[in-house]
Amino acid sequence: MVEDASPLLGEVAAALAPHTGHAQVVGLTGSPGVGKSTSTSALVGALREQGKRVGVLAVDPSSPFSGGALLGDRVRMQEHATDSGVFIRSMATRGHLGGLSWATPQAIRVLDAARCDVILVETVGVGQSEIEVVSLADTTLVLLAPGMGDGIQAAKAGILEVADVFVVNKADRDGADQTVRDLRYMLSLGRRERDETKWKAPIVKTVASRGEGIGDVIAALDKHRDWMNRSGERDRRRQLRAEAEIEAIALEKVRARIGDLRGGGTLPELAKRVVAGELDPYVAAEDLVDTVSAS
């Protein structure tokens, strides 16, 4: 229903609302090839050993596909496919910008109300839209791997700012220590101006394919959750997440009303005059907003 933006979703959301707020939402991102899927699967296994219910949302902003399509590739996840304590779902953009910022918080809400203790939100790549998705999390986990030029890439995309825990995966490979040193150096540059009372993102080394270091990642997640609760940062982030969610739904509602006006001729008529050079698009947009507001 979330993915199809069902009109019944409002009713369902109202019923779910009192049951939300329990889960720890963990965002997980990194460039292709760093081992996100393997790491997610290893984390799911470790959390299940602790008896926790786990939700996994695999979010791909570059794919027009949603639902089961991507899961075919996710061989690593199949070991959890028959475990009733694990829920796994692939999501994509539903074909328009803003799609993920709309659907992801909704899907988190559903898994939260379904009593998942931890919800892992895995995204592909470290672009702007991925950062928006992972920044909705309580805890953001950034994966790197040796020798992939991730350091520069990460700095470019602003991922250093949003990471709560860094994981250097494939730590048995050459260059792992160099990657850790590069990362530590870049973090030290950023920290110079930072508040000393702030959380300092730890760097954890893993070999996810053999389960090495996964316990350390879990420990870092627990430590961050405790800090979030103590510091009030948890409430602050949830407040921002709810604001972003409400805004996205509101914009979607406005977009739907514009769509209705397209049928009625208002938008096509305005566009026709813009193409003819009789009207500029700003005045046209002002007209459109007024019409939408009055409708």
Asked if 232 touches a copy of itself (CB under 8 A), the answer is: no
Q: Could you say which residues in the range 178-197 bind a copy of itself, by CB under 8 A?
A: none
Residue 232 beta carbon to a copy of itself: minimum distance, rounded to whole angstroms: 13
Residue 262 beta carbon to a copy of itself: minimum distance, rounded to whole angstroms: 7
Provide the phi-psi class of 49: left if phi over 0, else alpha when psi is between -120 and 50, else beta: alpha
Q: Could you say which residues in the range 123-182 bind a copy of itself, by CB under 8 A?
A: 125-129, 132, 156-158
Closer to a copy of itself at the Cβ: 81 or 283? 283
Between CA 43 and CA 39 the distance in angstroms is: 6
Asked if 65 touches a copy of itself (CB under 8 A), the answer is: yes
Q: For residue 167, what is the enclosing H or E element?
A: strand 165-168
Structural contact between residues 221 and 165, judged by C-beta atoms closer than 8 angstroms: yes
Edge-to-edge strand list for the sheet holding 86-92: 86-92, 54-60, 118-123, 24-29, 139-144, 165-168, 203-205
Binding mask 68-107 for a copy of itself (x = CB under 8 A): -------------------------x-xxxx-xx---xx-
Q: Which stretch binds a copy of itself (CB under 8 A): 135-143, 199-207, 219-227, 287-295?
A: 287-295
Distances (CA, A) of 239 to 21, 136, 197: 11, 10, 21
Q: Which stretch binds a copy of itself (CB under 8 A): 50-58, 138-146, 203-211, 268-276?
A: 268-276
Q: Is 294 exposed, middle or buried (0-12, 13-18, 19+ CB in 10 A)?
A: exposed
Size of the site for a copy of itself (CB under 8 A): 74
Closer to a copy of itself at the Cβ: 224 or 241? 241
